[in-house]
């Protein structure tokens, strides 16, 4: 990989975007390599959760590479390469956590929003400044931001290009936790480990029902919930979880 650093520890894979000289900006190469890593990890049983972060202390991802943006045209817009990649991350079968170590701007914040959980360093700043460049957030930002913080705040943030502090982002519901910078990756790893101790099928279906239910009316969402629960009732994981609880021992889930 030219632009990424990957590690694996106790089932938690960490993907670090490593372009600190340009604040980890997203080039076509970065996007291609992220897609390749996701392909590799998707079918790797050793990888059970994914943490995404940026190299250095200043930036998570500062957005798209503006040197490439100058050449974008109608074909690039219709291809929606970044949007498609982020849709894939949102739908990824394994839990994903964004560890926002610094500024997360434009496509960087959109990347974080496509993850299941967002944890920010206290020094992080984030926003969608695309209107300053005469474009709009085109990798899911107009949709995911409004679902996370509400339409009113999303409109204000996008139209003004205002950046949020980590504390503001937590208050808005854009990030779930704010921690000291030195504790960021440790907190992300602990969060991942907590998730991995749960039933893997339950985690996967919970993600699916929450995501798809959010795009449906409540009654349809409840049907999705009922069907997912019915399926889980038939699994070995359910039997093991109940047996372990009654025996007061840790469960040994197998994802079956």
The span from the CA of 252 to the CA of 208, in Å, is 23
Is position 167 annotated as part of the catalytic site? no
Spell out the alpha helix ranges (H) of the chain. 28-42, 66-69, 74-79, 81-90, 107-114, 141-149, 151-160, 166-172, 184-196, 200-214, 218-232, 236-247
Which neighbouring-strand residues pair with 164? Answer: 126
Residue with tokens 């943006």: 69
In terms of residues, how long is the chain? 256
The answer to whether residues 4 and 16 touch, using CB atoms and an 8 Å cutoff, is yes
Instruction: Tell me which of 42, 110, 236, 252 is the catalytic residue.
Output: 110
DSSP state of 115: S
Is position 252 annotated as part of the catalytic site? no
Q: What are phi and psi of 41, to 5 degrees?
A: -80, -25
Which neighbouring-strand residues pair with 246? Answer: none
Instruction: Tell me which of 33, 42, 130, 236 is the catalytic residue.
Output: 130
3-state secondary structure of 146: helix
Question: Exposed, middle or buried: residue 104 (CB in 10 Å: 0-12, 13-18, 19+)?
Answer: buried
Which neighbouring-strand residues pair with 120? Answer: 100, 178
The residues annotated with a catalytic role in the active site are 110, 130
């Amino acid at each position: 990989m030219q632009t990424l650093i990957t590690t694996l520890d106790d089932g938690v894979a960490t993907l670090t975007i490593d372009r600190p000289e340009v604040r980890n900006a997203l080039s076509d190469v970065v996007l291609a390599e992220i897609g390749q890593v996701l392909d590799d990890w998707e079918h790797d049983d050793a990888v059970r959760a994914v943490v995404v972060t940026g190299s250095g202390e200043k930036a998570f991802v500062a957005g798209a590479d503006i040197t490439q943006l100058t050449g974008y045209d109608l074909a690039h817009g219709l291809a929606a390469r970044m949007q498609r990649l982020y849709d894939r991350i949102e739908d990824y079968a394994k839990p994903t956590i964004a560890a926002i170590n610094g500024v997360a701007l434009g496509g960087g914040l959109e990347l974080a929003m496509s993850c299941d959980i967002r944890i920010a360093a206290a020094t992080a700043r984030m926003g969608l400044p695309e209107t300053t460049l005469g474009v709009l957030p085109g990798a899911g930002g107009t949709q995911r931001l409004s679902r996370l913080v509400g339409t009113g705040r999303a409109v204000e943030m996008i139209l003004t290009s205002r950046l949020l502090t980590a504390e503001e982002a937590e208050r808005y519901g854009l990030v779930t936790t704010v921690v000291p910078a030195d504790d960021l990756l440790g907190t992300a790893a602990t969060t991942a480990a907590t998730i991995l101790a749960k039933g893997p099928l339950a985690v996967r279906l919970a993600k699916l029902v929450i995501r798809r239910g959010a795009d449906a009316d409540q009654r349809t969402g409840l049907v999705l919930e009922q069907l997912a629960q019915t399926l889980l009732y038939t699994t070995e994981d359910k039997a093991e979880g109940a047996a372990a609880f009654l025996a007061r021992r840790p469960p040994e889930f197998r994802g079956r």
